[in-house]
Structure 1
Amino acid sequence: MTRQEQNADVSRAFEGLADEDPSVRLRAALGVGTTPDPRYVGKLVERCAVEPEFHVRDMLTWALTRHPAALTVPRLLGELRSGRAQARSQALHTLSKIGDRGAWPSITRELLTDADDEVARSAWRTAVVLVPEEEKPALAAVLSTQLGRGRRETQLSLSRALVALGEVIEPALRAAMTAPDPGVRTHAGATERLLRDPEAGFEFAIEEAKRVVALGAGGQEG
């Protein structure tokens, strides 16, 4: 293939990634991942920040994983400082799929406690993938500050991340179980149950933890 033909292919791919039809964007992302080219990396990262369709974003991430980490990771790390929540969230998600542990220092406390739930959830999942063994207790301590946050989907994401760290989370959970906020105590108790019995299911663990917290409050009032 001549240089001119290659350039034409790249131009067509760029047009496809920006097409109004999501099925066209999906095919374009698939094509870019099937035939990687360094020229695609910047456009893929840019598109991740604005793509409205989940399944297309997933294909964009896959396409990025098909390119060398030396090209993709620096661009993704730059997105972590973006003012656009989707840019931060999708960059984190893609970093978790690439799995380059050199990105770990960029998973900051600020991202782990991001005000946007989707960004925070992506940061939790990514942190668990990239964290060095010796950093796990410190990560558990930061994640435990988010116990009781958000709706069930967010709480489930946090519990899964904590449980994935293993027994190092136990001191943080014990501390959280004495928190003034009953929501924090309930979430900590449910996470502790899932650590002991991963098959218990989150809803069951939450309801059981609620009963424990209610009994404890009743005992204190009595």
Structure 2
Amino acid sequence: MRLLIVEDEKRLALSLAKGLTAEGYAVDVAHDGREGLHLAREGAYDLLILDIMLPGLNGYRLCAALRADGDDVPILMLTAKDGEYDEAEGLDTGADDYLTKPFSYVVLVARIKALLRRRGRTALPVLRLGPLTIDQGARRVSRDGAEVALTAKEFAVLEQLARRAGDVVSKAEILEHVWDFAYEGDPNIVEVYVSALRRKLGADVIATVRGAGYRLVRGA
């Protein structure tokens, strides 16, 4: 899953990005409101973490602009302002949740997971594909009832394939959703993770479509 952090406190933004990357998310960061709005409109994000007091365009206006566009991406607002009217204004502009600084990182992660689960209720948070069961909320995978331990990145790659099971997913699409937009390493890193998934889940689970990408086999 891909997250966007819009936060002008660079040290805080970097700390959050590192922590959430370790949780298995792809994370992009913007340090002012106008850049954040541009990225939010151009990228395919699963959730936004949005500060209110931003240069260029404040969080209220950024949130309102996205909602006016018809964008229903979950938005978690972070702010040093703690008055109930500030919280009400944030929620009234279309935010889904609100967290006051200073906050617990553990609570932040819990709020993020809750928002993502809430959004996923229209789909199925647990994907059952042949012998595989993929619990997106708990981030657990089992094959034929036996749980298989995956790293955060392995799970993220599998999740992208599972959401489009039966379709061909290109290497570029996997990179976009699992690694952040600033990733400049070897794109063949995707092959490394696909190979790891095949070792752990079975060689029959993921098919290579030569020159196009990978496909999760529904009835493997």
What TM-score results when the alignment is normalised by the length of structure 1?
Answer: 0.29
Structure of higher CA gyration radius: 1
Q: Name the one with the larger helix percent.
A: 1
More strand by share: 2
The alignment's TM-score, normalised by the length of structure 2, stands at 0.29
